[in-house]
Amino acid sequence: MDRLAKMVPANPANPVTLAQAIDIEPRLKEARREDEAVARLLDVALQLEGLYRNASTHAAGVVIGDRPLTELTPLYRDPRSELPATQFNMKWVESAGLVKFDFLGLKTLTVIDRALKHLEKRGARVEMDTLPLDDEKTYELMSNALTVGVFQLEGQGMRDTLRQLRPNSIEDVTAIGALYRPGPMDNIPAFVDCKFGRKPIDTLHPTLAPVLNETYGIIVYQEQVMQIAQILAGYSLGEADLLRRAMGKKKKEEMDAQRARFVSGAEKNGIPPAQSGAIFDLVDKFAGYGFNKSHAAAYAYISYQTAWLKANAPVEFFAASMSLDIANTDKLSVFYQDAKRFGVKICAPDVNRSGADFEVENGEVLYALGAIRNVGLQAMQHLVEIRREGGPFRDIFDFVERVDPKLVNKRTFETMARAGAFDTIHPNRAQLVEAAELLVSFSQTVANQRASDQGGLFGDSNDHLAEAQKRKMPRREPWTPTERLDEELAAIGFYLSGHPLEDMVEALRRKRTDLYTDAVAKALAGAEALRMAGIVRRKLEKPGRTGEKFAFVTLSDPTGEYEVLFPPETLRRCRDFLEPGKAVSIRVRAKASEGEVRFFGDDAQPVEKAIENAVAGLRVHVAPRSAEIEALKKRLEGVTDPRGGEILLVAGLGAGREIELKLPGRFTLNGAVRGALKTAPGVVFVEDL
């Protein structure tokens, strides 16, 4: 089904019928001829095409009448709605005498409202209704296509258009919103060329200059069609609206009548029939694409307001935007990467600082406790309320003693620990996950005591109970940096406090591997062949023209996320390395255009293999305690490699003296070994030789 459906040409501006598709697509003809099931399918589909598949209700359409609606239209009871619906469609209800309204709800208005409330908290009140429309920072942000999260302007294609057009007025933003749709977008290149003087502006007739100068001679709006008819042919506003509708419907009889009316009206204003006829034909061509300017302007105003907030109050903008997508970790990851580009710090979740929702404090965004996966917003609101009433949590036992175990259960507790929410009161995340059952059990015991009112009878019995539980806490070494980040990824949905490749950055650079931001800069300067590295976040495989699959692979490194297109031949060779979660080193071809860089994958291999033994050795600085040296020795078991590097142990002896000891043999010096050494007890720091 999917294969056949993709053979039908998709053109939203001028949809083709199934009969036309069969006529113009040889593969459909061939499939029909060679497969009896396909032939039967197409025969049935041709009979069904055009029939209504189901009854549906317009998402925002409301009709209003001057009498009971049953006197004007049959009604339909939608089982999913309390409101009745008309059985007439949106065009027929007008003929029946009803007035139709569309009431649109935009979450962007809530983003703006929340951002303004964050600004008010720091004493920076902004009146959006009187916002100046000439802010240079806002238009610079749009021109550089830094519009992730900006209403209407965040799609990749729209960002490409912004780079070309470089808007510098609200009129430009309005025009972009109207033009960037199937059909009208064919006029974008001419619009851009006329704006920058690469093509002359043609206003069709001198009297139309005030109407068409704003859009550089391109007819963009329905209102322009009406004004042209008024100015050139003496139409009334009512007649001009009928002309606009007729041009949209393309009915020949109506259009012939309108053409005669237009030409005769223009002749009265001294315009020859040949010239007015040519103008009518041109207007007719554009009118089918014409967009309602009042709608486009209202939306452009919201686009400008959100862009202004991002340019002038980025901290508040990101907090508000992330709040509206609190349950969408993919979107939160995009905002997090974008915030880094804007220099906005997003602090990790913290039970003593974060709110249930995203908040702003001291110029930083506090990551929401409610955005941690599978913890539940209600539970986090309860936690924040407990903290507000009784002050910050002193330690992990104070936390489990005060919260309701019905809301903060074992699963919630473990996920919060993995996310690092307890780091300020208990930094050993591994120990907390191991002790989760013990701690939640203690929480339930205390809650039962509270419920039976025994807490008051026994006074400080909870303190004795907590001391007893502390002695039962399992001993557990902290996770290695890689383990810690993997657990954090599972709990949050992306890397927040660090990145698995951070420990490998120097080794990668020694192997002439570029991080994302460096690769973009090099590509914009003309470089094409690059080596990059990253953790695979997502892989989307799609069939190509030949039926063989290619893939869009999203990778992340310490500087950001980026997408690489792997063509079929490369994907076939490297598919096993490109699974989500794997660390890879890749060879890419970079193509830069209009300030945008796209990457095409030529090869991929595990990053460990790419950087193996990239350094001559490691110098490990340790505290001079023999028990910790033994723990270090255990971590190096099984990683010897005659082709590897050497390891030097450096221990301080006091009074500014130190001793350096070279370990016998050579070792594989990959990221895992580095991480294991860094987190070994007694290790102060690790550096390359």
pLDDT number for residue 453: 66
What percent of the chain stands above pLDDT 70? 95
Residue 339 covered by a domain: no
pLDDT tier at 209 (50, 70, 90 boundaries)? Answer: very high
Same domain, 213 and 85: no
Nearest to 371 by CA among 404, 353, 392, 349: 349
Collapsed DSSP state (helix, strand, coil) of residue 553: strand
pLDDT tier for residue 457 given thresholds of 50, 70 and 90: very low
User: Which of the four pLDDT bands, split at 50, 70 and 90, describes residue 454?
Assistant: low
Q: Which of 481, 511, 528 corresponds to the end of one domain?
A: 481
Cα(286)–Cα(231) distance, rounded to whole angstroms?
17
pLDDT at 195: 95
Which CATH number belongs to the domain containing residue 588 in this structure? Answer: 2.40.50.140
Last-in-domain residue among 255, 282, 297: 297
- Name the strand (E) or helix (H) holding 94: helix 92-95
Alpha-carbon gap, residue 576 to 565, rounded angstroms: 16
Q: What does the pLDDT average to over 500-519?
A: 86
Residues 65-90, mean pLDDT to the nearest whole number: 90
Please report whether residue 81 resides in a domain. yes
- The answer to whether residues 467 and 519 belong to one domain is no
117 and 252 inside one domain = yes
344 within some domain: no
Grouping H, G, I as helix, E, B as strand and the rest as coil, residue 594 is: coil
- Measured CA to CA, the distance from residue 224 to residue 469 in angstroms comes to 77
Are the beta carbons of 598 and 590 closer than 8 angstroms?
yes
DSSP E strands, 40-132: 61-64, 75-77, 84-86, 99-102
- Do 376 and 472 share a domain, yes or no? yes
**417 and 427 assigned to the same domain:** yes
Name residue 550's beta-bridge partners: 542
Co-location of 126 and 85 in the same domain: no
pLDDT for res 459? 47
| Contact (CB, 8 A) for 534 and 501 | yes
Neighbours of 498 (CB within 10 A): 15
Rg (CA), the chain: 33
25: Cα separation from own chain's centroid:
36
Domain range enclosing 6? 2-48
Residue 329 domain-assigned (yes or no)? no
> 583-593 and 596-606: which strand pairing?
antiparallel
**Contact yes or no for 140/311 (Cβ under 8 A):** yes
Which carries the bigger pLDDT value, residue 629 or residue 411?
A: 411
Domain for residue 88, yes or no?
yes
Band of pLDDT at residue 652, cut at 50, 70 and 90? confident
Please indicate, yes or no, if residue 338 is contained in any of the structural domains.
no
Instruction: Give me the pLDDT at residue 642, please.
Output: 77
Q: Is the sign of the CA dihedral 119, 120, 124, 125 positive or negative?
A: positive
Per-chain mean pLDDT for the chain: 88
Residues 281-324 have pLDDT tens digits of 888 887 777 889 999 999 999 999 999 999 999 999 999 999 99
List all residues 6 or more positions away from 667 whose beta carbon is below 8 Å from its beta carbon. Answer: 636, 639, 640, 641, 644, 645, 646, 647, 673
**What is the DSSP secondary structure assignment for residue 326, as one 8-state letter?**
T
> Whole-angstrom Cα distance, residue 424 to residue 351?
8
Find out whether 185 and 198 touch, Cβ atoms under 8 Å.
Answer: no
The pLDDT value recorded for residue 182 is 83
473 or 631, which is more confident: 473
Span 24-31, average pLDDT: 88
In a domain, 240, yes or no: yes
Answer for the pair 576, 582: CB distance below 8 angstroms, yes or no: no
Structure tokens at 23: 């006529």
Output the six-digit token pair for 602.
């030529």
Comparison of pLDDT for 137 and 3, the residue scoring more: 137
Domain boundary among 594, 610, 626: 610
Q: Of the ranges 91-95, 295-299, 385-389, which one carries the lowest mean pLDDT score?
A: 91-95
* pLDDT confidence of residue 686: 80
Least confident span in 166-170, 390-394, 509-513, 562-566: 509-513
Q: In this structure, are 147 and 90 located in the same domain?
A: no
* Model confidence pLDDT, tens digit, residues 462-471: 666 666 666 6
Helix/strand/coil for 590:
strand
Average pLDDT of span 636-645: 76
Number of structural domains (the chain) is: 6
Report pTM: 0.76
Same domain, 35 and 65: no
CB atoms within 10 A of CB 119: 20
Average pLDDT over residues 258-271: 92
The residue-averaged pLDDT of 392-400 equals: 93
Q: Which residue has the tokens 């089918």?
A: 288
- Strand bridging mode 560-566 / 640-654: unpaired
Specify the residue for token string 């599972």: 490
pLDDT beyond 80 at 35: yes
Name the band, by pLDDT with cuts 50, 70 and 90, for residue 240.
very high
Structure confidence by residue, pLDDT tens digits, 516-558: 989 998 998 888 999 999 999 889 998 887 878 999 999 999 8
Q: Is residue 323 part of a domain?
A: no
Q: Which of 306, 290, 316, 33 is nearest to 150 (CA)?
A: 306
Quote the CA–CA distance of 40 and 215 in Å, as a whole number: 51
Whether residue 580 sits in one domain with residue 461: no
Distances (CA, A) of 512 to 16, 533, 608, 616: 51, 11, 15, 16
Does residue 458 register a pLDDT over 60? Answer: no
Distance linking the first and last C-alpha atoms of the chain? 60
3-state secondary structure string across 412-452: HHHHHHHHCCCCCCCCCHHHHHHCHHHHHHHHHHHHHHHHC
pLDDT digits (tens, 9 = 90+) for 594-632: 778 999 999 999 988 877 766 667 888 877 655 567 777
661 and 583: one domain?
Answer: no
Do 115 and 237 fall into the same domain? yes
Strand 549-557 versus strand 529-543 pairing type: antiparallel
Average pLDDT over residues 656-674: 78
| Strand 549-557, strand 364-366: pairing | unpaired
Helix (H, G, I), strand (E, B) or coil at 658: strand
Give pLDDT tens digits for 265-278.
999 999 999 999 99
Q: Residue 71 — left, alpha, or beta (φ > 0 → left; ψ -120 to 50 → alpha)?
A: alpha
Classified as helix, coil or strand, 683 is strand
- Looking at the fold, whether 136 and 274 belong to one and the same domain comes out as yes
Closest CA to 533 of 603, 482, 592, 481: 603
Length of the chain: 689
